[in-house]
Amino acid sequence: MRHYELTFIVDPVLSSEDIQSIRKTYEDLIKKQGCTIVHVDEMGLKQLAYPINKRNSGVYYTIEFAAENGAGIAPVELALRRDERIMRYLTISLDKFGVKYNEDKRSGLIKKVQRLKKKAAKPADVLPDVKPLDIVPDVEEVEIPEEEV
């Protein structure tokens, strides 16, 4: 079985019911092509790197699925290309490392860095009180020859 990942951006102007129906439509289309869906990740509304169709944000979805071969991807991409509600899409083939990474991410082994902990940490908590003499106890002055200066 080959593993694939389909990421698409839905126009944020649509209602939440329409957005959910779009997700369901493409899940059904992938299943209809003989693929098995491994995981659906709704990343939500995110800021775009550059404006697309005069929009600055979009609703992101990622569908990870497995298929015997890549024959079922072409009809799905054709439907995505024809759908005006889809702003962008990208289908990639996952290698064994990508599959392992996604499994670890879903199981919680890979987590995002929590920025709240960084903001809450005080400088005194990060480094204990250290005197300069404690760091380098035996400092000798070294003379530099005039040639090197």
Is 29 within 8 Å of 78 (Cβ atoms)? no
Instruction: Give the model's pLDDT for residue 91.
Output: 96
CATH number corresponding to 2-107:
3.30.70.60
CA gap 124, 53 in Å, rounded? 49
Q: What is the pLDDT along the chain (149 residues), one digit of tens a residue?
A: 899 999 999 999 999 999 999 999 999 999 999 999 999 999 999 999 999 999 999 999 999 999 998 888 999 999 999 999 999 999 999 999 999 999 998 888 887 655 555 666 655 555 556 555 555 555 566 666 677 55
CA gap 128, 143 in Å, rounded? 33
CA dihedral (39, 3, 75, 81) positive or negative: positive
Helices (H), 2-149: 16-32, 73-82, 96-107, 115-120, 123-126, 132-135
Instruction: Give the model's pLDDT for residue 126.
Output: 56
